[in-house]
Amino acid sequence: MLFPLRQIFLMGAVNLLAMTIAEKILARAAGKDNVEPGEIVEAEVDYVMLNDVTGLPAFEVFEKFGVEPIKEKVVLIQDHYVPNKDVASAEQAKAMRLFARKYGIENYYEVGVSGICHQVMIEDGFAAPGRLIIGADSHTCSYGALGAFSTGVGSTEAASAMALGSLWFRVPETMKLVVDGEPGRYVMGKDIILHIIGDIGVDGALYKSMEFYGKAIEDMSLADRISMANMAIEAGGKAGIFPPDEKVFSYLEGRVKGSYTPVYADENAEYIETLEYNAADIPPTVAKPYLPSNVAPAAELGDVAIDQAYLGSCTNGRIEDLRIAAEIMRDRKVHENVRMIVVPASKKVYEQAIEEGLVKVFLEANAYVSGPTCGACLGGYMGVLAKGERCISSTNRNFVGRMGHKDSEVYLANPAVVAASALKGRITDPRELS
């Protein structure tokens, strides 16, 4: 029945069916042949992820429905304030634990196995090409690096989706971002996305899906693509999607849950805007307070002294990030005026960092290394800044008071810049060291 209809459309107006990746995934999940930007659809989600902060309000809402959750779609991850920072956060974590037990949720991540939620979603094979995933956390957009349509939602929405298995979506317009050229030494995905946000602004992609293409993107590691997709939200984007390739497929081997179908944009798909960049023009880049769009080359900020250097988070807490920082810090010491905090994004990253001897490098350099937690990234605990203090951070947000006191400052940068700055006690372009 559906097939002949599609044929008619094809004959009538080819453009009607040309869709971007976001449109195709939403159409499939809504059980439709075709969707258009601006349309509101009800779509079936593959997974609903919640963390300890957004979980509690969602569980309270969920109990009003008086049904069982659709268990296999629910993923619960303790990461923001665990190990518990205080009694209130202990209660929050307990609420998640009890919810998981009450309904027999299998995909529950307790302290000791968990990590930062987005890293776990990727590492444990929930994120995969073509999937529609929602998470009650704004950086859920990270899984676009693997070709999924994933986006952050609120707690009430997550509760509703746990009950119904579906949620309303406004089909976003799609922007095409083409990054060609060869990036220079110590230029990472982080620098490219900071550069793009600096260019288009923190609302430059508001309500939109961003699709990434070009040679620099094809050559880029999956880890760097994750950093970029992660920060789509910092441009206001609903999703940041990369067409899945061999790197994604081989990463997923032996790790992905279930099967998946890669989705690609049609050749004549319509983009609301196309922007082109050359990676060779982008230096190691830093976003100054108080917006991720407030960018400058690291080399121009050499006068900015720092009190803390933070390496971690869902943006840049992967093994690749720790490796590049360790390479810079090997046989060197953190500057006497700086505390450096290193937080691997997950248990698996932590284990691998120990195996590869990276943790030893950090410890020998006098950095503090902890198990995975969101902690300092959101000014929660374990690395909170005092009044007037300044931190160079591999995270994604530098808003007023993000990591502590309202008069503290956060500078966002890639892991190499964070490492080099920790050694020098001021913001440093890592090329200065070699």
Partner 1 sequence: MRGRVWKFGANVDTDQIIPAEYLVTGDARELAKHVFEKARPGFAEKVRKGDILVADENFGCGSSREHAPRALIGAGISCVVAKSFARIFFRNAINIGLPVVECDVSAEDGDELEIDFEKGVIRNLTTNKSYVFKPLPEFLLNLLNSGGLVEYTKKRLSIYE
Q: Which residues bind partner 1 (CB under 8 A)?
A: 40, 53-54, 56-57, 60-61, 64-67, 80-81, 86, 88-89, 91-92, 135-138, 140, 152-157, 159-160, 163-164, 168, 202-203, 206-207, 233, 236, 238, 291, 378-380, 397, 399-402, 406
Report CA-CA distances (Å) from 77 to 112, 116, 128, 158, 346. Answer: 11, 8, 18, 14, 11
- Distance in angstroms (rounded) separating the CA atoms of residues 286 and 297: 6
Residue from 27, 159, 322, 377 touching ligand SF4 (CB under 6 A): that is 377
* Three-class DSSP category at 428: coil
Minimum CB–partner distance for residue 51 and ligand SF4 (Å):
7
> With 0-12 CB in 10 A as exposed, 13-18 as middle and 19+ as buried, what is 74?
buried
Whether residue 69 is preceded by a cis peptide bond, meaning omega within 30 degrees of 0, is no
Pairing of strands 166-170, 40-44: antiparallel
Rounded least distance, CB 318 to ligand SF4, Å: 12
Q: From partner 1, ligand SF4, none, which one binds at residue 321 (CB under 5 to 8 Å depending on kind)?
A: none
Is position 314 an interface residue for ligand SF4 (rule: CB under 6 A)? Answer: yes
Q: Both tokens of residue 251?
A: 């990463």
* 396 is an interface residue for ligand SF4 by CB under 6 A: yes
Q: How far apart are CA 188 and CA 193, in angstroms?
A: 9
Q: With respect to partner 1, which residue has the nearer C-beta, 160 or 421?
A: 160
- Under the binding rule (CB under 6 A), the answer on residue 116 touching ligand SF4 is yes
Least distance from ligand SF4 to the Cβ atom of residue 411, Å: 16
User: Which of the listed partners (ligand SF4, partner 1, none) does 314 bind, with a CB threshold of 5 to 8 Å by partner kind?
Assistant: ligand SF4
| 282, 183 Cβ separation under 8 angstroms | yes
For residue 230, the minimal CB distance to ligand SF4 (Å) is: 8
Distance CA 137, CA 75 (A): 12
Binding mask 192-221 for ligand SF4 (x = CB under 6 A): ------------------------------
On whether the CB atoms of residues 307 and 338 are closer than 8 A, the answer is: yes
CB of 113 to ligand SF4, least distance (A): 17
Can you state the percent helix, strand and coil of the chain, rounding each to 5?
40, 20, 40
* Strand 47-51 relative to strand 339-343, pairing: unpaired
Q: How far is the CB of 53 from ligand SF4 (least distance, A)?
A: 8
* Binding residue count for ligand SF4, defined by CB under 6 A: 13
The single residue listed with the structure tokens 């309202």 is 406
- Which partner, partner 1, ligand SF4, none, binds residue 402 by CB below 5 to 8 Å per kind? partner 1
Q: Which is nearer to ligand SF4, 30 or 343 (CB)?
A: 343
Dist. CA 13–CA 352, nearest whole Å:
52
Rounded to a whole number of angstroms, the minimum distance from the CB of residue 68 to ligand SF4 is: 28
Task: Pick between residue 117 and residue 159 the one whose CB is nearest to ligand SF4.
Answer: 117
Structure tokens at 109: 């991540």
Q: How far apart are CA 39 and CA 22, in angstroms?
A: 13
Check binding of 137 to ligand SF4 (CB under 6 A).
yes
Interface with ligand SF4 (CB under 6 A): 80, 116-118, 137, 139, 313-314, 374, 377-378, 395-396
